Amino acid sequence: DAKTTQPNSMESNEEEPVHLPCNHSTISGTDYIHWYRQLPSQGPEYVIHGLTSNVNNRMASLAIAEDRKSSTLILHRATLRDAAVYYCIFNSGNTPLVFGKGTRLSVIA
């Protein structure tokens, strides 16, 4: 299994930035880093992915360490709708996504 390490839970105030860390020290050079999130009683939702360079999209930014052994998902302004479990996953292109325990993000109004 591709193992990642994330904090069990984090808390943020609404409209403030949130930095969700992930360690993936066993990542190989061809593995992608993915972030998904899951709201209660829903399927996972794609957030962002990257390989080596930092990435930005409308939902978030992904900062990847130079050695690729860690990454940080950045939500620039947390809203109540961002409260979810965030999963950091790495895999090669053709293997299925294997989920760890993720980080439960709480957003306080």
Partner 1 sequence: GAVVSQHPSWVICKSGTSVKIECRSLDFQATTMFWYRQFPKQSLMLMATSNEGSKATYEQGVEKDKFLINHASLTLSTLTVTSAHPEDSSFYICSARTSGSLRYNEQFFGPGTRLTVL
Of 16 and 46, CB closest to partner 1: 46
Could you please report the per-residue DSSP string of the chain? Answer: ----B--SEEEEETTS-EEEEEE-TT--TT-EEEEEEE-TTS--EEEEEESSS-EE-SS-EEEE-TTSSEEEEEESS--GGG-EEEEEEEE-TTSPP-----EEEEEE-
Of 8 and 109, CB closest to partner 1: 8
- Considering only residues 43 to 102 of the shown chain, the ones binding partner 1 according to CB under 8 A are 43-46, 49, 51, 87, 93-94, 96-102
Of 42 and 53, CB closest to partner 1: 42
Contacts with partner 1, residue ranges (CB under 8 A) = 32, 36, 38, 41-46, 49, 51, 87, 93-94, 96-102
